[in-house]
Structure 1
Amino acid sequence: MSKKVHDFNDIIRKLRKNLLGKGPEKIHTVFIENMAISTMYGNLTPTEKFIARTSEGKEMVHAARTRLIQDIYATAPPEGLEDVTGAKFVYLFSDFKVDEDMAVSVFVFDKPIA
């Protein structure tokens, strides 16, 4: 893993831990042109796992996980993210699979990641 990927993953992990009480246990990130694509595993807290035992709970956890992250990034990128990539953050696309405890985020930047 390159230092850039390691540093990028560290920023993502710390943000999610601070916001949600638990960061992902494993993150796999690839840089492709002007995008960083991150797959994250082991995200859910014990409370979220308990809530997700029903279909309504799964919907609630999914909505909270996706909307909160998207709202945070829409306000401002995490500190250091643009420094690591050498590009300005533009958009975040994200989704969360509750049953698999897996998240995927696509970070779009204004130019290819150096």
Structure 2
Amino acid sequence: MSKKIHEFNDMIRKLRKDLFGKGPERIQTVFVNNMAISTLHGNLTPTEKFIASTAEGLKTIHAARTNMIQELYAKEPPTALEELMGTKLVHLFTDIKIEEDIAISVFMFEDTISE
């Protein structure tokens, strides 16, 4: 893993931990053209897992996990992340599969990413 990917993953982990109280246990990231594609494993807190044990709770946790992250990045683009990547973050696409505790985030930047 390159140093840049390692630093990128650490930033993502910290942002998620600050937002939800727990960061992902494992992150795999690849850079493709102007995108960083991250697979995040072990995202949910014990409380979220308990709430997600019902159909309504599952919907609530899914909406909270996806909407909160997108709103955070839209309101306050992570400048440290943009500095690391050397380009502006223009879009974030994210989703989570609650049952398997796996999330995918696609960070789209203005320019091509170099490792």
Interval of TM-score (by shorter of Structure 1 and Structure 2): over 0.9
Q: How many residues align?
A: 114
1:15 shift after superposition: 0.4
Any unmatched runs of 5+ in structure 1? Answer: none
1:78 shift after superposition: 2.0
- 1:105/1:67 CA distance change after superposition, 3 Å: same
CA distance in 1, matches of 2:78, 2:17: 13
State the secondary structure of the residue aligned to 1:111.
Answer: coil
TM-score for both structures, normalised by structure 1: 0.98
Equivalent residue number for residue 5 of structure 1: 5
What is the one-letter code of the residue matched to 2:103? A
Equivalent residue number for residue 96 of structure 2: 96
Task: Report percent identity of matched pairs.
Answer: 63
CA distance in 1, matches of 2:48, 2:103: 14
Equivalent residue number for residue 48 of structure 2: 48
What is the one-letter code of the residue matched to 1:76? E
CA distance in 2, matches of 1:77, 1:68: 13
CA distance in 2, matches of 1:30, 1:79: 20
Any unmatched runs of 5+ in structure 2? Answer: none
Q: Deviations over 1:6-62 (max 9, x none)?
A: 000000000000110000000000000000000000000000000000010000000
